[in-house]
Structure 1
């Protein structure tokens, strides 16, 4: 088993400016300890924990259940998202399943290198779409069941989609990847990274859409529901202030969508264009000056660029936690003689 815990997840500026949840390192350690306890329902499990510069992994190892073999993964710590990517690449070759504690950004970093290894994702971030808010003990039980093959991985997981961006500014083509979303923002600089003002959103492409979700998936979910394992995605473009002022009142009303754009914030946005996209089908933007966001965080500044965003079917295999545990129980996995 691999265990990846991001010590900085759930601590960005949105916890101060909106209704976003806060996840302290103490809370993360408790959740990780619960996940390790859940693994004890399974025999012959060895756990490797991604190290970090906050000492969180050291405390998790020290507080692990006595009947579980838990050690630190031997790797160099950079205190950046590169750590999760490095750990994921190692676990792709060595682990039967991985438990991830973090937010959408952490899961995106893990998705870069985890391959086909099943991922049990527990929400400890600020503005989560992908990871599941679930008890760590139950998540640990599910991880052990999948890792041992008690429930086959192909029956226990769903393949989450992702989004790829190609940026051509005349000097070459740059690529950027998102797990749930890539967005185009009317911003000059990356800055604090978090998207705080929904008025900055020009548009984007999402691999999942639902009115129950926050940010770009919530906006897209106002006009199209798209499940995480559905093929393709949804692309949309919002209207600028000038375009909204030019239209008559009735037409304006028909094009408006209410969505939870930031934790604690419900916004009304005007939609210029939207459509469901097949895998690999591009949704294009001409950006004179702006920023591309990935999974709710501003990532890449662009100038005078043609941007093509497209859904792709190569995301991580996420474990259906409740379904796996219920399946194992129905087959007598938890019975004691």
Structure 2
């Protein structure tokens, strides 16, 4: 029986960066409409069941109820799990979807949402849809097409070896044990308290470690992309140390916000090569959100590996399905 999951984060696209930049805001009504189109795309492929994460706003339930019995029937369900209104909901939902045999998951959110999902499982292919303009990991795509791509992957219509790729991730170890992870960047901040989770003040940043650094992206990884681009398919990461320097990077760190920042040093990182912290105590932000408080006694290392989530190429999946005649019917 084929199943596709949907994990939609109602909190994504609403952080402090909307106040300090020109980033767009996606309302929960917009997300409900987006999820509705995902469902319709999935069901057009003949998938047996669509399973959705519950949330405090009821995005999935609202999206399904707006479709009517003819579209949903018993093909759409909500996971039976406790909702806490935190990023852990996405982590638990992904783990549960893995347990019940979901073949592909569509995620609706930003870099942080996809990081939380990856902490639940990295083996089930995902279709990450962006809900904002300052994301790197998820893609901007029509949600109907994203649903179709997830459906043909879950049904085994397309060859996963050709349409699914393994991404990179950053592994953060603390005192010899893996503590956390990031999909795009880990940022070391010379600060001792969390405050607003989103990072927007560049003066606090001392180090950046990236899995990819693309100059066309928006965010802190774009700083690296301006001096030494690293792409998603490159078998390496990038390390930067920031501060007063003759080398100045000019990069779009937030939507509509281009800043200059000094680069003391930078280098590409081999897989497994570890980075130490240059300042302690400090905070570490993972994929744009402050997560780890590091004391003076903690030994923290960061390295990059290619063992991240498996991501579906939407265009490749739909094209391959079309080439096989999946979308045609002979009367």
Distance across 1 between alignment mates of 2:167 and 2:40: 27
Equivalent pair of 1:159/1:318 in contact (CA under 8 Å): yes
1:90 shift after superposition: 1.1
| Uncovered stretches (5+) of structure 2, i.e. residues with no partner | none
- The answer to whether 1:155 aligns with 2:176 is no
2:118 corresponds to:
111
Equivalent pair of 2:105/2:126 in contact (CA under 8 Å): yes
2:88 corresponds to:
82
Equivalent pair of 2:240/2:266 in contact (CA under 8 Å): yes
Helix, strand or coil: the match of 1:110?
helix
1:282 shift after superposition: 0.9
Q: Which moved more, 1:309-318 or 1:40-49?
A: 40-49
Any idea what the Cα deviations from partners look like across 1:165-196, whole Å, max 9, x if unmatched? 2234xxx8672211111110122311111111
Distance across 2 between alignment mates of 1:14 and 1:271: 23
- The answer to whether 1:55 aligns with 2:58 is yes
1:248 corresponds to:
none
1:260 corresponds to:
252
1:324 corresponds to:
317
Equivalent pair of 1:11/1:126 in contact (CA under 8 Å): no
Any idea what the Cα deviations from partners look like across 1:41-83, whole Å, max 9, x if unmatched? 2124301110012222221221246234101111111111111
Q: How does 1:19-98 map to 2 (within 5 A)?
A: 19-64=22-67, 66-68=70-72, 69-93=75-99, 94-98=101-105
1:278 corresponds to:
270
Give the TM-score normalised by structure 1.
0.91
Distance across 1 between alignment mates of 2:259 and 2:106: 34
Equivalent pair of 1:103/1:126 in contact (CA under 8 Å): no
1:269 is matched with which residue: 237, 261, 264?
261
Q: How does 1:9-20 map to 2 (within 5 A)?
A: 9-20=12-23
2:303 corresponds to:
310
Equivalent pair of 1:127/1:296 in contact (CA under 8 Å): no
Distance across 2 between alignment mates of 1:134 and 1:158: 18
Distance across 2 between alignment mates of 1:176 and 1:72: 28
Equivalent pair of 1:14/1:126 in contact (CA under 8 Å): no
Equivalent pair of 1:49/1:61 in contact (CA under 8 Å): no
1:256 shift after superposition: 1.6
Any idea what the Cα deviations from partners look like across 1:194-234, whole Å, max 9, x if unmatched? 11112221112111111011223201111222222332311
Distance across 1 between alignment mates of 2:43 and 2:91: 27
1:136 corresponds to:
143
Equivalent pair of 1:286/1:307 in contact (CA under 8 Å): no
Equivalent pair of 1:287/1:303 in contact (CA under 8 Å): no
Distance across 2 between alignment mates of 1:215 and 1:199: 15
Helix, strand or coil: the match of 2:226?
coil
1:120 corresponds to:
127
Helix, strand or coil: the match of 2:304?
strand
1:194 corresponds to:
198
Count of matched residue pairs: 322
RMSD value, Cα: 1.7
Q: Which moved more, 1:25-34 or 1:226-235?
A: 226-235
Structure 1: 4+ residue segments shifted above 4 A: none
Distance across 1 between alignment mates of 2:11 and 2:292: 20
Distance across 2 between alignment mates of 1:54 and 1:156: 33
Helix, strand or coil: the match of 2:82?
coil
Distance across 1 between alignment mates of 2:230 and 2:299: 26
